[in-house]
Structure 1
Amino acid sequence: MNAPLPWLAPTRESPVDAQVLVPGSKSLTNRALVLAALADGPSVITRPLGSRDTQLMAAALGALGAGVEKDGMTWRVTPIDRTRTGSTAVDCGLAGTVMRFVPALAALGSSEVTFDGDPHARRRPMGQTIATLRDLGVRVDDGDRGSLPFVVHGTGVVAGGPLVVDASASSQFVSALLLAAPAFTQGLDLRHRGAALPSLPHVEMTVTELRRRGVEIDDSSPDRWVVSPGPVRALDVEIEPDLSNAGVFVAAAVATGGSMRVRGWPEQTQQAGDAWRELVVAFGGTAERDGADMVFRGGPSISGVDLDLHDVGELTPVVAALAALADGPSRLRGVAHLRGHETDRLAALATELNRLGGDVTETDDGLEIRPRPLHGEIFETYDDHRMAHAAVVLALKVPELFVENVSTTVKTYPNFAPVWERLVA
């Protein structure tokens, strides 16, 4: 089958003035699915994100014995049957939450579960996940690769107790263990030892979601989480809009000196994308709440920035695109862990921006971006949805920019390209 032709992303000569309601949060949807699969009864999830990553999660939980019945914007989840035996397989695709959250659940069952995914997924670091499962007494066969594919042999029981991990490569290692911990017979006393934990808002989101379901968890000491064993209460939830996906629309306002109203922006949230309220100001724009919405406006020009994005690394590609359009140099710091995401995002951003005529240098933990006149070209996405988001923001001011495989955005945003085209073209 031939690959689709690169997509000519729309250019904008006037300020954008639009509004958008983005789909539900991927991070919250997948956490809600996992906790519903471990709960003490059925749960209903309203306004879940129906993207590739969440469909993969639903299918993975189904392979373990959970039930996920989908009726439009309502999904009903029945818990995993942990007594099921035999063998099954989980397709992780390129979803980090599936490849890191689900193996611990598989260990709680009684089946032999094979995990595999897309070609790019086989290059993502999984050694920490595999080593941690073994530290918990779980048998895992990976052919000494430290990556997909691997097989988890569930025994129906995981003791838990004290455990030390180095999660400096991804906060998902911590979230994965916390989500499964209430089902461990001794709970879990988890400590992180290593460089500063990245993407901390995602861990805080996990803790909040556990507490909402009655799980006792003590996180009063830095880099330590003590989870008591016990039931996970079934809970009906409505999923917040995905604020990281909202970022590409917010960036359209900044790039064009226009405005973007994002509907239904939560007043309180642990989503990393909430940082756009501060990022827009750093770039010279404004962010104001109007009722249930946030209204973002770009300034007369885009200011260069010096930003530590350690806690919100997933926003880096779109932030880098705006920095490349700014009127002064920028430095993005604290995101060395992005080298282990869907692709090496730092290398990919430097390569693609420089291909357009930019001047970008990788540092130990980020990027230095010196704005230059950019020209049209094919922008490679590396099967990474955030790279596609960066590309369409650049295209607003760079004519004849073609996005390779824009359909990779279905990972977290179905129909992104036509929605983007309708709003900005």
Structure 2
Amino acid sequence: MPVVDIPGSKSLTARALFLAAAADGVTTLVRPLRSDDTEGFAEGLTRLGYRVGRTPDSWQVDGRPQGPAVTEADVYCRDGATTARFLPTLAATGHGTYRFDASAQMRRRPLLPLTRALRDLGVDVRHEQAEGHHPLTVRAAGVEGGEVTLDAGQSSQYLTALLLLGPLTRRGLRIRVTDLVSVPYVEITIAMMRAFGAEVRREGTVFVVPPGGYRATTYAIEPDASTASYFFAAAALTGGEVTVPGLGKGALQGDLAFVDVLRRMGAEVDVAADRITVRGTGRLHGLTVDMRDISDTMPTLAAIAPFASGPVRIEDVANTRVKECDRLEACAENLRRLGVEVSTGPDWIEIQPGPPVATDIKTYGDHRIVMSFAVTGLRAPGISYDDSGCVRKTFPGFHEAFGKLRGSLPVRPSR
């Protein structure tokens, strides 16, 4: 039975780095993800004057509840959305002038709902070029707090950034949310804030965060559930079996609900206290599924959909259009290149069954497109990519790990 060790969660590592930097004392993060995104986040903290120490299996961060140690910094956020959204929010708690820029890909991604909310809280945030996009400058003088209204319909990261900010304000925050996507990621944030000694209350559409700061701790990072989806899907597609340790009952990440989608399609799923096993049964049923709360796994499902016995329709995933690329259209385009019939709408994609024909996948530099269509390649040998290396964003060793798994799975024809 193949056992796959998945690297640490990107979402948990980014949040933990913010919390550790803001906490009173030295925090140890156990098994953090080491990838381009998280290294970029740690580098950004260093540029802001925080000390980040590294060992092979852990990071230590000296917290500064009063904000950055320097009064001027120029931070490059690379491709990281969490870096680009969380670090300017953290910088606002200090006193100084902090400039943030990012890659061309990240510059295209929206930021305006967050910067509007920060401005409503009195933070001086200025976009240098396109309004609502990087590059930007924060002229920080601490944050008083108060009440603010936020539209988090494009990204839950806007709400997460404000929640993380709340305990660092002088009066706390009341965040009124008019729309919200990817709720499980917000639940991750709240659970992690509590692990660092802060509290959050939810009163309907209002999140209440009192002041009081964070306390340092030792925090273990779970394996990444979104990354695990490719390995679980591989088992379901081939009739094989895959076990991922470190994820199980009580895990924080909402993307683990992807295994329930595989169960609905016909796979056998065993969720234990400390591991999850998925077994393929030799069949995949078509289905209609709302993936609003687990939209990062939408490409994974799209990539195995052609092998189902009936159509697969994925709904309520409009937010996937503003990720590293327009993932909904990227999936549709690549499936069509594979000879699969696909229909799309503003927030949905429907995929008809049909044997894919190997082709070159257009990745748009998006790690999730590469990793998803690697699963398709298990039953459509010969698939290649125009940029296979973009997996370094979250899983630099993906191709080696997936190649190792491939050798232990049953070989099945395309249909």
In structure 2, C-alpha distance between the alignment counterparts of 1:223 and 1:402, rounded to whole Å:
45
Q: Deviations over 1:324-349 (max 9, x none)?
A: 22121011011111111111111111
In structure 2, the residue matched to 1:3 is: none
State the partner residue of 1:40.
Answer: 24
Match of 1:199 in 2: 182
Q: Does 1:422 align with 2:407?
A: no
2:305 matches 1:319 = no
Counterpart in 2 of 1:286?
268
What does residue 153 of structure 1 align with? 139
Matched, 1:218 2:201: yes
Q: Is the 8 A contact 1:244 1:272 kept in 2?
A: no
Structure 1: which 5+ residue stretches go unaligned? Answer: 1-16
Q: Which residue of the partner structure matches residue 390 of structure 2?
A: 408
Q: Is the 8 A contact 1:115 1:148 kept in 2?
A: yes
Where in structure 2 are the equivalents of 1:249-268 lying within 5 Å? 249-268=231-250
Partner of residue 126 from structure 2, selected from 129, 134, 141:
141
Letter in structure 1 aligned against 2:133? S
Aligned to 2:258: 276
User: Which of the residues 226, 239, 258 maps onto 2:221?
Assistant: 239
Q: Contact 1:257–1:297 (CA<8 Å) still a contact in 2?
A: yes
| 1:93 is the counterpart of 2:78 | yes
Give the superposition deviation at 1:94.
1.4
Q: How does 1:15-34 map to 2 (within 5 A)?
A: 18-34=2-18
Residue aligned with 1:193, SS: strand
Instruction: Report 1 or 2 for greater relative contact order, CA contacts < 8 Å, sequence distance ≥ 6.
Output: 1
SS of 2:234's equivalent in the other structure is helix
Helix, strand or coil at the partner of 2:214: coil
Contact persistence 2:315–2:347 (CA under 8 A)? yes
Question: Which residue does 1:54 correspond to in 2?
Answer: 38
1:268 aligns to what SS in structure 2?
A: coil
Structure 2 residues not aligned, in runs of 5+: 408-415
**One-letter code aligned to 1:28:** L
> For residues 198-253 of structure 1, what are the alpha-carbon distances to aligned partners after superposition, in whole Å with 9 as ceiling and x for unaligned?
1101100111111122212211x232210000020111111111111111000110
The CA deviation string for residues 73-97 of structure 1, in whole angstroms up to 9 with x for no partner, is 0111001363644421222111111
- The CA deviation at 1:181 is 0.9
**CA distance in structure 1 between the partners assigned to 2:197 and 2:390 by the alignment:** 37
Secondary structure of 2:18's partner? helix
Q: Report if aligned partners of 2:332, 2:343 keep a CA contact under 8 Å in 1.
A: yes
* 8 A contact 1:114–1:150 mirrored in 2: yes
1:126 aligns with 2:135: no
Say which SS state the counterpart of residue 277 (structure 1) adopts: helix
Q: What is the SS of the residue equivalent to 1:347?
A: helix
Alignment of 1:340-419 (within 5 A): 340-419=322-401
* Number of aligned residues: 405
Matched with 1:69 is 53
Contact 2:114–2:150, Cα closer than 8 Å, also in 1? no
In structure 2, give the amino acid aligned to 1:212.
A
TM-score by length of 1: 0.92
1:210 maps to amino acid: M
Q: Secondary structure at the match of 1:393?
A: helix
Q: Secondary structure at the match of 2:251?
A: coil
Segments of 4+ moved more than 6 angstroms = none
Task: Check the 8 A contact 1:198/1:311 in 2, yes or no.
Answer: yes
SS of the residue corresponding to residue 3 of structure 2 reads strand
Distance in structure 2 (CA, Å) of the matches to 1:82 and 1:227: 18
Summarize deviations over 1:12-33 as a string: whole Å, max 9, x none: xxxxx52201111111111111
